Amino acid sequence: MPDAVELIRAKRDGRALTDDEIRWLIAAYTDGAVADEQMSALLMAVYFQGLEPRELRAWTAAMVSSGERLDLSAVPAPTVDKHSTGGVGDKVSLILAPLVASCGAAVPQLSGRGLGHTGGTLDKLESVPGWRAALPVAEMIEVLREVGCVICAAGPGLAPADRRLYALRDVTGTVESIPLIASSIMSKKIAEGTAALVLDVKVGRGAFMRELAAARLLAQTMVGLGHEAGVRTAALLTSMDTPLGRAVGNAVEVEEAVATLRGEGPPDLVEVTLALAREMLALAGLDADPAAALTDGRALERYRTMIAAQGGDPDAPLPRARHAQVVTAAESGWLRGLDARAVGVAAWRLGAGRARKEDPVSASAGVLCLAKPGERVEAGQAVLELRADDESRFARAHEALSGALEIGPEPPGAAPLVIERIAEA
């Protein structure tokens, strides 16, 4: 039987671990036989030494095998899901799941919560009165069968090794490791049982991957893991220098998502959503036009049905913040830049996000982008509206936004929102 200290030394010194060693390590850690401090040391060794492709395949497979794998065979429609690596104002999942379902696919969207400057899909939807994130597996599959889409939390039986490893990486400075990110995301998606998967890998100031080369490597790694596990997988690299859409927060993003489902969404949000929808439908083998489903009301009706199926009231008023302040333009000119990370941090400080997984979030806090890059502003014009239930939060939010606005005499050059597509050759 392997020994944890032996494996720590081996990976520290650059030796590739065998498949048997990796299977033992993940199983022993999940069962509590390997201590947190030992796994912390091994994660740091992986951070510096990396994992070879064979090691990463074995690591991911071991994480999948640490729990159950959902059986979606009872779902009659082709299954396809989407995962985003996280951004600011990224409410795409709220629109995409019912949109793609209205085109004939089944979308089992197991989502997460926000951490730091990036928002979480479950936090956003929990601003809808009555909506439930936690569904038993049988109920989740029934909603998927009946509605065609479900957005809910992953149950405790799904890749439990990842649940423990993610919490450990968060407190040991090992989050930004491409093999560990890739195995974390893909183990959950493979265990979810979907037949196809589209990855939205964010790139830029508001993304975890700020550099294109790192984002491309992460996308290629995840696409490879998906195909090796029998999941048809593709990735789009999309820009996250500027918040997506005009709303950043929880209830405010739900409001914008519903507006988009009514055919009234901001152009950047619609463009990214439709690009991902087309990719999902292609992988599912469906010939359908998602743009038509946005304009004819099918997607909105599917959203309302999904919300109701999970206990929510799609007609209930969303929470509204008690207080608001604005950030104004210091000069007249063209808004050339709006730093996505700064806006995300401001929303977090207003109460929309959390520093630790157990922290509560405010449903009503957030930031509205009253102007976006490419638009002309005048000195003193309100560019951002900050919302909070607690007035004491405004000061630190304003600090986060210092330098976030770039105003100049010329409009910014056009930059693509969808940068690149990656699929296995």
Q: Is 339 a catalytic residue?
A: no
Residues 287 and 191 in one domain: yes
pLDDT above 70 as % of the chain = 98
Residues 184 and 87 in one domain: yes
Marked catalytic residue, from 93, 127, 184, 187: 184
Marked catalytic residue, from 23, 91, 188, 278: 188
pLDDT in tens, 19-66: 999 999 999 999 999 999 999 999 999 999 999 999 999 999 999 999
Distance of alpha carbon 58 from alpha carbon 65, whole angstroms: 10
Check pLDDT > 80 for residue 119: no
Position 175 scores a pLDDT of: 84
Residues 247 and 295 in one domain: yes
Residue 359 lies in a domain: yes
Residues 141 and 269 in one domain: yes
pLDDT in tens, 301-347: 999 999 999 999 999 999 999 999 999 999 999 999 999 999 999 99
Mean pLDDT of 361-384: 97
Sign of CA dihedral 304, 306, 309, 310: negative
Marked catalytic residue, from 81, 162, 241, 339: 162
Residues 185 and 115 in one domain: yes
Residue 107 near residue 95, CB atoms below 8 Å: no
Position 357 scores a pLDDT of: 67
Burial of 409 (0-12, 13-18, 19+ CB in 10 A): exposed
Check pLDDT > 70 for residue 425: no
Burial of 165 (0-12, 13-18, 19+ CB in 10 A): buried
Q: Is 169 a catalytic residue?
A: yes
Q: Is 349 a catalytic residue?
A: no
pLDDT in tens, 89-111: 999 999 999 999 999 999 999 98
Confidence at 171, pLDDT banded by 50, 70, 90: confident
Calculate the CA dihedral of residues 205, 207, 211, 217 and round it to 10 degrees.
Answer: -170
Residues 233 and 366 in one domain: no
Residue found by looking up tokens 């429609």 in the block: 77
Calculate the CA dihedral of residues 89, 314, 113, 321 and round it to 10 degrees.
Answer: 60
Which residue, 265, 306, 245, is CA-closest to 89? Answer: 245
Residues 125 and 223 in one domain: yes
Mean pLDDT of 346-366: 87
Mean pLDDT of 129-155: 96
Position 264 scores a pLDDT of: 95
Residue 67 lies in a domain: no
CA 14 to chain centre: 32
What's the CATH code of the domain at 10?
1.20.970.10
Check pLDDT > 80 for residue 365: yes
Residues 118 and 187 in one domain: yes
Residues 6+ apart with CB under 8 A from 131: 125, 307, 310, 311, 312
Of the candidate ranges 169-173, 253-257, 353-357, 403-407, the one whose mean pLDDT is the lowest: 353-357
**How many CA atoms lie within 13 Å of 394's alpha carbon, on the beta-carbon side?**
16
Position 116 scores a pLDDT of: 65
Please state the domain count of the chain. Answer: 3
Find the domain containing 258 and state its range.
80-155+175-315
Burial of 322 (0-12, 13-18, 19+ CB in 10 A): exposed
pLDDT in tens, 196-250: 999 999 999 999 899 999 999 999 999 999 999 999 999 999 999 999 999 999 9
What's the CATH code of the domain at 383?
3.90.1170.30
Bridge partners for 366 per DSSP: 249, 387
Confidence at 112, pLDDT banded by 50, 70, 90: confident
What's the CATH code of the domain at 135?
3.40.1030.10
Q: Is 162 a catalytic residue?
A: yes
Marked catalytic residue, from 57, 82, 83, 91: 83
Average pLDDT taken over every residue of the chain: 95
Residue 422 lies in a domain: no
Residues 150 and 236 in one domain: yes
Residue 411 near residue 336, CB atoms below 8 Å: yes
Q: Kindly report the backbone phi and psi dihedral angles of residue 271, in degrees, each rounded to the nearest multiple of 5, phi listed first.
A: -60, -45
Residue 309 lies in a domain: yes
pLDDT above 90 as % of the chain = 89
Position 115 scores a pLDDT of: 65
Check pLDDT > 60 for residue 134: yes
CA angle 389, 208, 385 (to 5 degrees): 30
Distance of alpha carbon 303 from alpha carbon 309, whole angstroms: 10
Mean pLDDT of 135-152: 97
Check pLDDT > 70 for residue 417: yes
Residues 308 and 332 in one domain: no
Marked catalytic residue, from 91, 124, 169, 349: 169
Gyration radius (Cα) of the chain, Å:
21
Mean pLDDT of 174-200: 94
Q: Is 83 a catalytic residue?
A: yes
How many CB atoms sit inside 10 A of residue 36's CB? 14
Check pLDDT > 60 for residue 82: yes
Residues 247 and 376 in one domain: no
Position 76 scores a pLDDT of: 95
User: Any idea how long the chain is?
Assistant: 425
